[in-house]
Amino acid sequence: MVCVMPQSGRRPDARRTNSTAPATELRERLLTATRDLLAQRRFDSISVADIIAAAGASRASFYFYFPGKQAVLAELVRRAVGQGQQAAEPWTTGRQDPLYALRSGIEAGAALWMDNAAVLTAIVENWGSDEQLRELWLQQMETFTDLTVARIQADPDVLRRLDGLDVRAVAASLTWLGERLYYLAAANVPPFTDRDVLVDTLMHAWTRTLYGDSPSPSHT
Amino acid sequence: MVCVMPQSGRRPDARRTNSTAPATELRERLLTATRDLLAQRRFDSISVADIIAAAGASRASFYFYFPGKQAVLAELVRRAVGQGQQAAEPWTTGRQDPLYALRSGIEAGAALWMDNAAVLTAIVENWGSDEQLRELWLQQMETFTDLTVARIQADPDVLRRLDGLDVRAVAASLTWLGERLYYLAAANVPPFTDRDVLVDTLMHAWTRTLYGDSPSPSHT
DNA sequence: AGCCGACCATACACACTGTCTGGTCGGAGT
DNA sequence: ACTCCGACCAGACAGTGTGTATGGTCGGCT
């Protein structure tokens, strides 16, 4: 009648403060369990009960480590995007041929999305209905936008070409176009299911917007 | 103890078959009540109880006319977009100067979104988590994409410029860019809150993608 | 030995959803 | 005039989810 089911002794640090998380085993198990479930069904159809069942944890433990489902997703997203951030590195530092750097960046994005399709799909489908996730995703997009703004501002040719336009708006539109197309690809919406089509279309949008017709942006 | 609260005698046709709906008063009241609530808070925070309270209807009646909240939203969306369809008309029929037609189309889109911000915001934020809404929205986007594909295919210059690319993918990317930017504007995400910035950025993306640098796309 | 920190089971209050029962009313048909 | 039907209502229900709270069991450290 009472509870008897010891599992193994652990001692989490109980650190929920976001910063590079200190991997308490149970906490980690909850994270990966959620990640796995996400690979099978939509985020909003997953309940806390499902997660703790999959992780072999108790309800109380779950709410000890996370204030709710969204927080779990938020952390998964942060980790996924964290990796992606450095993948965009060649584009960030303007050392290489812009077109090459651009293509690498776009391909890195595609790879990131493929690897983390479940998690990223989940946040894209839910940041509209949760304040926490909303802020996270908007901020994430802003980070990417910042990168592009910097890149644009560093290139007088591009800047001249964009003349009267709001540079930030142009950069943001490219960021969001990426978000959309990567998402649609991950969600199996044609015609973006084809990886090459996706990359080419995105590449085309970026080059035409920033560099115009001429395929050789010269300098640096 | 029993229920006494006659309100007025009506006799709906009980036609739920989708086709141009036959406006039964209660049904209509539910629709507008939902629309009004949507102007105040997010779709997923609105319960059926809220809707029927606002419409002065009973729970039973609600479920008689609609299978659920989503169906109400779906109908509101269909109506909103239906109006917008014809607003894109100058762009559809390639009679006018493409640049002018394009700008009108983009501005019509902006107007449509301003007028129906609540409803359109709601569907964009929720089509990811409901099969019904998902299908509706994807289909809607496809309709717009079809229009652009036709327009591209009718213009040899544009077609040549797009050379190796998947035309449908390019058209779809422009459609989705619009969806995103209009949504962000409606959701007060800078820098798109400024209507002119929004329109200019969108215009820039379309013209650069389809017509390249030269601001005079010549014929027809 | 004893305490603490990491866990567990269970139960609760609350909020929603969708369905069902049984009822009231006005008007149209006979 | 009576009855039937269609449009509505009130309210209850089972089911499912969330977040919180209560109380208990372990292992290890002091």
User: What is the pLDDT, as a whole number, of residue B17?
Assistant: 37
Our measurement of CA B65 to C1' C26, in angstroms, reads: 21
Does residue A67 lie within 7 Å of nucleic acid chain D, judged by its CB? yes
Report the mean per-residue pLDDT for chain B.
86
Give the closest of A42, A170, A191 to B201, CB-based.
A170
Q: What letter would DSSP give residue A7? A: -
Q: Is A63 on the interface with B (CB under 8 A)?
A: no
pLDDT band of residue B16 (cuts 50, 70, 90) is very low
The tens-digit pLDDT sequence of chain A (220 residues) is 333 333 333 334 433 333 344 568 899 999 999 999 999 999 999 999 999 999 999 999 999 999 999 999 999 999 999 887 777 776 777 667 888 889 999 999 999 999 999 999 999 999 998 999 999 999 999 999 999 999 999 999 899 888 889 999 999 999 999 999 999 999 999 899 999 999 999 999 999 999 877 554 444 4
Res A23: pLDDT: 60
Is strand D less than 7 A from the beta carbon of A41? no
Considering all nucleic acid strands, name the nucleotide whose C1' atom is nearest to the C-alpha of residue B44: C16
C-beta atoms of A212 and B209 within 8 A? no
User: Hey, are the CB atoms on A43 and B129 less than 8 Å from each other?
Assistant: yes
A173 touches chain B (CB under 8 A): yes
Q: Is A195 on the interface with B (CB under 8 A)?
A: no
Comparing alpha-carbon positions, the chain A residue that sits nearest to B134 is: A125
The residues in B 91-110 lying below 8 A from A, measured between CB atoms, are none
SS (H, E, C) chain B: CCCCCCCCCCCCCCCCCCCCCCCCHHHHHHHHHHHHHHCCCCHHHCCHHHHHHHHCCCHHHHHHHCCCHHHHHHHHHHHHHHHHHHHCHHHHCCCCCHHHHHHHHHHHHHHHHHHCHHHHHHHHHHHHHCHHHHHHHHHHHHHHHHHHHHHHHCCHHHHHHCCCCCHHHHHHHHHHHHHHHHHHHHCCCCCCCCHHHHHHHHHHHHHHHHHCCCCCCCCC
On the CB side of B89, CA atoms within 13 Å amount to 5
Q: What confidence score (pLDDT) does residue A1 get?
A: 32
Confidence of residue B84 (pLDDT cuts 50, 70, 90): confident
- Distance (Å, rounded) from C-alpha B170 to C-alpha B205? 11
pLDDT digits (tens, 9 = 90+) for B103-152: 999 999 999 999 999 999 999 999 999 999 999 999 999 999 999 999 99
Q: With an 8 Å Cβ cutoff, is B135 touching chain A?
A: no
Strands (E) in chain A, as ranges, are: none
For residue A164, say whether its CB is under 7 Å from any atom of strand D.
Answer: no
